[in-house]
Amino acid sequence: MTPANRALAKRTAIVSTVVLAILLVCTLFALGWRLWLLLFAAAMVALMLRGLSGRVAKRCGLGSTLSLSLVVAAAIATLVGTAYLLAPRVGAQAQEFVELLPPAAQRLDRWLDDVPGGAWLAQNVRDGLGDGDQFESARRVARTTYNGIVGIIVVAVAGIYLAIDPRLYTAGFVRLFPVRVRDDAESVLHELGCTLQLFMVGRLASMVFVAAATGVAGWVLGVPAPAVLALIAGIFTFIPYAGPIAAAIPIALLSATSGMQTFAWMMLAYTIAQAIEGFVITPLVGEHTIHMPPVITIAAEVLMAALFGPIGVIVSVPLAAAAMVLVRRVYVERILERDTTETTGSGPQTDETPPER
């Protein structure tokens, strides 16, 4: 076999292996996509816990295991304490929210009927929500709630286990690669971890700020159920662009029940809070993270929502950020730019021979 044929056969084998690997990964993902998305969410929780425990260890001079234990204990204590202190009030406001939301939606429906094109929009919304079967709606809500609780438990437990000894999993994953590229694989994993870690810290800071600002504004303006609206605004802030718009709907509906002046002030306060989050908090916290263009972010959210539903929307942006890191480190730097460097570095070969003595 000639050298050219051997090179062609080697390249064909590499391409075939890559294609088969991609097909295998897609097949495994299609068979258990919910499990893979939950594991990815658990990895993000583990990265956030490791980041917080690393800062505690650095400032207090503690070991990594003790720092992680303190962070997990503090997180559990915070959640339990917050639930104990706010559960009665939030529960009462949640009931008020459920009672006030249908009349507010009906008022919006009547208003849309008087607006050009509003009747068509309202009819499409009603068709999308279904035929109004209360039993079917209750069953769907119960199933979604059960799946959400189970998913949260799986993500929390798996995230803690991943955070306890991440080296065990990353070292095993790196060993799946050939020896000559293991250092590069470990470097890519490290950059992925840093990117997602900073993303989680930034989202957490944004969620806390938006929730606090929304709750305080609702309480000052006398909007019904301000704690519930703050909770909704904080949770939906995790999803860039689409999340704040979705959270604005119940905020607008409930604030409108207190009059148009309250509605205007509440929406202005919510807009200012989102502007501060977008132009101040996110750039400060995420200064060293990968830049996500808005079009890619929105496209990732729409695609993941269409394919995997709500859980796909939740992990769409961090998945897109991880994909951009992989494309840059694996495809751009190792394939495109390396080929360019080799071609440029080789230069034109001269056939000069040293003069004979």
Q: Which long-range contacts (CB under 8 A, 24 or more apart) does 131-137 make?
A: none
Is 155 a residue whose pLDDT tops 80? yes
Query: 53 with 159: CB under 8 angstroms?
Result: no
Query: 70 with 50: CB under 8 angstroms?
Result: no
Per-residue tokens: 140: 């769907």
Q: Which residue has the higher pLDDT, 102 or 191?
A: 191
195 within some domain: yes
Secondary structure (3-state) at 174 = helix
pLDDT at position 129: 47
246 within some domain: yes
Q: How many separate domains does the chain show?
A: 1
Q: 230-257 pLDDT, tens per residue?
A: 988 998 988 888 889 888 988 888 888 8
**DSSP assigned state of 182:** H
What percent of the chain clears pLDDT 90, i.e. is strictly above it?
7
Query: 209 with 277: CB under 8 angstroms?
Result: yes
* Token pair 């040293």 in the structure block, residue: 354
10 within some domain: no
8 within some domain: no
Buried b (16+ CB within 10 A) or exposed e, 308-347: beebbbbbbbbbbbbebbeeebeeeeeeeeeeeeeeeeee
24 within some domain: no
Q: What is the mean pLDDT of residues 35-56?
A: 83
Q: Residue 223 sits in which domain range?
A: 33-339
78 within some domain: yes
**Distance, CA of 84 to CA of 64 (rounded, Å):** 30
CA 339 to chain centre: 34
The closest of 40, 58, 50 to 197, measured between CA atoms, is 50
Is 273 a residue whose pLDDT tops 50? yes
177 within some domain: yes
CA dihedral defined by 326, 329, 332, 333, rounded to 10 degrees?
-170
253 within some domain: yes
**Distance, CA of 146 to CA of 107 (rounded, Å):** 31
Q: How confident is the model at residue 127 (pLDDT cuts 50, 70, 90)?
A: low
Secondary structure (3-state) at 32 = coil
Mean pLDDT computed over every residue of the chain? 77
- How many CB atoms are located within 10 Å of the residue 275 CB? 10
**DSSP assigned state of 355:** P
Is 56 a residue whose pLDDT tops 80? yes
